[in-house]
Amino acid sequence: MDIDTFRSETRAWLEANCPAEMRTPMGEDDICWGGRTFEFRSPAQKQWLKVMAAKGWTVPAWPKAYGGGGLTGDEQKVLTEEMHRINARPPLQSFGIWMLGPALLQFGTEAQKRHYLPQIARGEIRWCQGYSEPCAGSDLAGLQTKGVDTGVHFEVTGQKIWTSYADQADWIFCLVRTEPDERKHTGISFLLFDMQSDGVSTKPIKLISGASPFCETFFDAVKVPKDQIVGERGQGWTIAKYLLTHEREMIGASDSALFAKSDLAEDAVSAIGLDETGRLDDPMLRADLGQFLIDEICFDAHLEMTGAYMRAGHELGARSAELKYLGTELNKRRQSLRVAAGGSDDLVWEGTANDAGQVAKDWLRSKANTIEGGTSEVMLSILSKAVLKLPG
């Protein structure tokens, strides 16, 4: 189908099928994560997921055989543009879509793909990611959670931390040290298991924003059937690195609520007002906004170019660290400017006024952007070695 026909058909389909309530701006609470225990916030949210999943458009890039839309790069771009045009919310967001899916597509067996991917596409199973540990943060490959081969199972014991939404997840994809005699990077395997298994427990961590999106996750002799390994034994780090690359591209380019773009200029004017020359009545904030707006235009252009580059069939590789670094540092500035523009109004924390401090909460949340998925400093170290080829 030529791309113009695809566009007009997509536009008509979205017009007919996207409920009006799914065309309004969304906060973090409005995200549809799917999963066994997910409670839809409205019938419209449930309907929107259903029709999009039936089209394969919760995961438009995946092959149709695995529940995807089988769209080409150009078609995906059109779908995104058409959804933006009507402010359509993403029907489903999940670590299954962002992380596990791409790993399975690359490293999974055919049976694993046919079993797990359609469940992700339909939002039936919600996944969490078991990577970081208390003693393995930036030095992720130093992880100690162990998986002992008992013949039929890996018996998994240890602790993970910063496991996003572990308390609400159905399954986990988890890095586990199964080869204790191998070296640091080659002793790790990539295991999948049900969070309802005996021996799994979770404990939410309260953050400075007041929310608890992350958990501590404990494993006490959890029995994981040996066919629930992705790739080979000891190949976990390779898969994890592949996924981190993917995650960084995604965080950098994110469309998610974390990076929801408000119109900073408009917000600032409504909060502060203009002086008699028609300029924002706060010259220093205005100057900071000016620099920010230039940098935002610049980063948007870079995302656009990078997208075109990847659609032309090129791999980004280590350069995903560049997007992650730039995108997250920029978002921190965006959130700082938003909260500064609001002045004391944005210090309101509780109650119904001022959206219960949402701007301040977003600002605090954004501080994690340059930590999660690899810190800015780790990104710069990756770039200095992999791209600039600096020594050591």
Contact residues for another protein, defined by CB under 8 A: 265-266, 268-269, 274, 278-280, 286-287, 289-291, 293-295, 297-299, 301-302, 304-306, 308-309, 312, 314, 319, 322, 325-326, 377, 379-381, 383-385, 387-392
Query: Cβ atoms within 10 A of the Cβ of 88, count?
Result: 20
Which two tokens mark 272?
A: 């502060």
Q: CB of 280: closest distance to another protein in angstroms?
A: 4
- The secondary structure of residue 208, as a DSSP letter, is T
Measured from the CB atom, is 12 or 293 closer to another protein? 293
Read off φ and ψ for residue 338, nearest 5 degrees: -60, -45
Whole-angstrom distance, CA of residue 354 vs CA of residue 268:
15
Q: CB of 76: closest distance to another protein in angstroms?
A: 18
Which two tokens mark 389?
A: 């080829």
Q: CB of 130: closest distance to another protein in angstroms?
A: 29
CA 252 to chain centre: 10
Nearest to 100 by CA among 191, 178, 218, 222: 191
Q: CB of 329: closest distance to another protein in angstroms?
A: 9
Measured from the CB atom, is 285 or 348 closer to another protein? 285
- The secondary structure of residue 42, as a DSSP letter, is S
Q: CB of 387: closest distance to another protein in angstroms?
A: 7
Measured from the CB atom, is 36 or 314 closer to another protein? 314
Q: Are 173 and 230 in contact (CB under 8 A)?
A: yes
Nearest to 337 by CA among 316, 311, 363, 355: 363
Sign of the CA dihedral with 276 first, then 277, 279, and 283 last:
negative
Q: CB of 342: closest distance to another protein in angstroms?
A: 15
Measured from the CB atom, is 144 or 375 closer to another protein? 375
Measured from the CB atom, is 232 or 377 closer to another protein? 377
Q: CB of 274: closest distance to another protein in angstroms?
A: 7
Query: Cβ atoms within 10 A of the Cβ of 341, count?
Result: 25
Measured from the CB atom, is 52 or 339 closer to another protein? 339
Which two tokens mark 354?
A: 């001022």
Helix residue ranges, H only, the chain = 3-17, 43-55, 73-85, 95, 101-107, 110-121, 236-252, 264-272, 283-311, 320-342, 354-366, 376-382
Measured from the CB atom, is 186 or 376 closer to another protein? 376
Q: CB of 84: closest distance to another protein in angstroms?
A: 17
Measured from the CB atom, is 57 or 299 closer to another protein? 299
